[in-house]
Amino acid sequence: MALVVATNTAALMSSASASAVNKAMETSMERLSSGLRINTASDDAAGMAISSRLTSEIKGINQAIRNAADGQALIDTAEGAQIEIVNMLQRMRELSVQSANDTNSVSDRANLQLEIDQLLEEVNRIAKSSSWAGHSLLNGTSSDLAKTHGDTANFTFQIGSATNTSDRTNIKIGATSTAALGLTGADVAPTDTSNLDDPGRISIDGNKIVIAGNLVNGDKYEFALDDQEVDVVYSTTNQYTNDKFGLANQLKDNIDALVAAGTIAPDVAATVNADGDLVITKTTAPTVTAVSTTETGGGAADNQTLAYSGNTLTVGGTHEATDIYKLTINGTAITYTSAANDGYGVSLAGVAAGIKAQIEKTAGLDDVTVVDNGDGTLSFTQTGAPSLEAAETILNNQQETTLSYGDNGVLTVGGTFKDGKEISFNLFGKEIKFTTSTNDGFEDSKAGIANQIASAINDANISGITAVRTANANTVTITGKVVAEEGKVVNGSQYIRTSEGASATGTVAISGASGSTTTASYTAGDAYTFKVAGEDFTLVVGTDGYADDKYGVAQQMKDMIDARNIGGITVAVSTGTTAQVDITNVLTGTVTSSGHSTVVTDVLVRDVAAAKAADAGGADIAVTTAAKSFDAITRIDKALETLNTQRASLGAVSNRLESTISNLTNIVTNTSSAQSRIQDADFASESTSLARAQILQQASMAMLAQANASKQSVLALLQG
């Protein structure tokens, strides 16, 4: 009996050994057939995670290598076009030197000019047509030909596998049109002793203060920010740079000081952008009204609340599914209905999250930011443009003709009379412009200029506005008030009534037929026309988001007038028995609360020749005379210097990318080696393991057969 037990034990052990050997052999065969040491996470859990991370790095780096190579190709394309432009500039310079010699006749120089003109056209064609993947390479961001070399095409190359700043590099390629290179357009150099040709000035563009012209020591620049005056005097001896960036930073520091002093709200921020513009932003709380809840669950939970205070919306009480929550943000109505299966639940935090989601998917609220505090409260902010108005420049040059506006309806002529000065300004959004002349019929004096200003204003036919020169003074007083006029309706029984309301108010009244408020009809296609400050307006009733009644028409009129940005007026809708659009302006002895009027803006006096050159793009280089040839040589040399600097910059970046590619190749090689040591199978080791397993398998099978044979021998003895 003991012999039988021993025989069975041997058989079982042989069977277990055979199973283990088979598993080892299967593992070795799997690794040898796949080439991988790790085929499943069970082979090496930590090694699998490390290998996957290294795979991401390797693939990312390989793509970064290709990105860098593509970046080099883009740079090579841009430089190739620049090389051809340089070749043409060299030819133009050669022609200019040839034409400067007085051995040429007039017809000879005319023939040389023909080739110059064709080369200029080809420079512009190359600048505009050179592109990569649809992106302009040599024309900056302009849709037409760029005006300055500072108009750049900006490209960012991803040369790493992560999102760090060090994984990217940027290049800027300046525009190379003829205007950008100074080959066309007046070549007037800035000077700090005179600003007669292109005086310094500031203007408002949305939320930006734009600085232009030649800045002169002592010029004063001012504007109103949220009804507070910001003003600085430009100086060439202070700590700021003597350019528009210096003036912009000086204005920024002035604003920062007013914010620190509490004069301007702390939610106002000023920055100077790459173009030298002063960008002003303001973070405010949106207008939230009509906050309410409606209980629809029918259960005991009938005490839910919704309240808005400061900039925080608070959900309170107990809530049930199907309860309704309403609020209006900046005039846009929001309705959220709680549901058991909407993913938010009926807790305080859940209802708040549901309201936030409803706000974020409502159109027209892109400027509003909602933060869920996680406790049933939502915080609201919005980024908007601050109130900017009344940008003015007071030039420090009393030897020339000057013009200023005193915020009280009075324009003042200063300095002395000069022939050929272009004087321009905007009055209620309409440009007034004329040029002084010794034969224009006006006296050649400051008084004569004042009379000419008054005449130009009156000739502009701004509704309700007149201007007269003040007796015995070089000033012009603007009087009257902007009114609406010539209101009529095409199609429909309703009508527009225009009238002057009390104290500087123009009113457009929209009433029913024959004065009735009940029989008027507002049908799609009805057209309204009217004028405000001489501006023509046409409104057509349709599916446009406005109600098809007199109040909707009045609101649409207000929005249309607001969109024209007519300076110096405010527009409001009053919704009484007769819907009125009230137009209030600031001319009858009153000004805005800041003491700044927006009636007269963009006052500018400049030399008419320079003005025409600037407006028309200036003069092209020419070789029709020796003097013009000398000028052409000078301007071409400057263009070559600009292009050479640009090419040197691009070449430096290209060399850097070459080093980047070499370094990334080294990194990916070593990273791949590290991954191989973790993930790939060791063929020598696995082949040895497989051979060992095969030998053990054969031995275990032989032992198992022998053990089975032993049992048969024992059974035979027992039977005998």
The percentage of the chain sitting over the pLDDT mark of 70, rounded to a whole number, equals: 73
Contact 533, 429 (CB under 8 A): yes
Give me the pLDDT at residue 5, please. 47
Q: Letter for the amino acid at 676?
A: S
Give me the pLDDT at residue 82, please. 92
Domain boundary residue, one of 317, 352, 384: 384
Three-state SS sequence of 13-38: HHHHHHHHHHHHHHHHHHHHHHCECC
Contacts of 44 (CB under 8 A, 6+ apart): 37, 38, 678
Query: Where is average pLDDT lowest: 137-151, 353-367, 671-685, 700-714?
Result: 700-714
Contacts of 122 (CB under 8 A, 6+ apart): 88
Distance CA 249, CA 234 (A): 11
The answer to whether position 192 is within a domain reads no
Distance CA 369, CA 371 (A): 7
For 292-329, write each residue's pLDDT tens digit: 888 776 555 457 888 888 888 898 888 778 888 899 88
Give me the pLDDT at residue 710, please. 62
Q: Letter for the amino acid at 329?
A: I
Please check whether residues 75 and 170 belong to one and the same domain: yes
Q: Which residue has the higher pLDDT, 188 or 479?
A: 479
For 485-544, write each residue's pLDDT tens digit: 555 555 455 556 555 444 344 556 666 544 444 446 677 777 777 777 667 777 777 777
Structural domain including 551 reads: 484-586
The answer to whether position 296 is within a domain reads yes
The answer to whether position 148 is within a domain reads yes
pLDDT band at 193 (very low <50, low <70, confident <90, very high): very low
- Mean per-residue pLDDT of the chain: 77
Helix (H) or strand (E) holding 255: helix 244-260
Longest pairwise C-alpha distance within the chain: 154
Q: Which residue has the higher pLDDT, 283 or 16?
A: 283
Which whole number is the average pLDDT over 2-27?
59
Give me the pLDDT at residue 79, please. 92
pLDDT band at 10 (very low <50, low <70, confident <90, very high): low
CATH value at residue 122: 1.20.1330.10
pLDDT band at 713 (very low <50, low <70, confident <90, very high): low
Domain boundary residue, one of 335, 361, 384: 384
The answer to whether position 221 is within a domain reads no
Please check whether residues 354 and 301 belong to one and the same domain: yes
Give me the pLDDT at residue 74, please. 93
The answer to whether position 203 is within a domain reads no
pLDDT band at 633 (very low <50, low <70, confident <90, very high): very high
Across 330-367, where does the E strand assignment appear? 332-337
Please check whether residues 659 and 685 belong to one and the same domain: no
Please check whether residues 63 and 165 belong to one and the same domain: yes
Please check whether residues 8 and 106 belong to one and the same domain: no
Which whole number is the average pLDDT over 357-380?
84
Domain total in the chain: 4
Please check whether residues 95 and 169 belong to one and the same domain: yes
Contacts of 254 (CB under 8 A, 6+ apart): 230, 231, 232
Please check whether residues 19 and 92 belong to one and the same domain: no
Q: Which residue has the higher pLDDT, 652 or 262?
A: 652
Q: Letter for the amino acid at 172?
A: K
pLDDT band at 599 (very low <50, low <70, confident <90, very high): low
The answer to whether position 80 is within a domain reads yes
Give me the pLDDT at residue 271, please. 86
Which of 388, 597, 404, 425 has its CA nearest to residue 504? 597
Query: Where is average pLDDT lowest: 25-34, 493-502, 534-543, 631-640?
Result: 493-502
Give me the pLDDT at residue 94, please. 94
Q: Which residue has the higher pLDDT, 40 or 109?
A: 109
Distance CA 621, CA 121 (A): 12
For 105-120, write each residue's pLDDT tens digit: 888 898 999 999 999 9
Please check whether residues 70 and 154 belong to one and the same domain: yes
Please check whether residues 293 and 378 belong to one and the same domain: yes
The answer to whether position 223 is within a domain reads no
Which whole number is the average pLDDT over 78-103?
93
Please check whether residues 180 and 68 belong to one and the same domain: yes
Please check whether residues 690 and 655 belong to one and the same domain: no
The answer to whether position 592 is within a domain reads no
Please check whether residues 296 and 362 belong to one and the same domain: yes
Give me the pLDDT at residue 194, please. 40
Give me the pLDDT at residue 351, please. 86
Domain boundary residue, one of 336, 359, 384: 384
Q: Are strands 495-500 and 484-490 parallel, antiparallel or unpaired?
A: unpaired
Across 351-480, where does the E strand assignment appear? 368-372, 377-384, 388-394, 402-405, 410-414, 421-427, 430-435, 465-469, 475-480
pLDDT for residue 158 is more than 80: yes
Contacts of 371 (CB under 8 A, 6+ apart): 378, 379, 380, 381
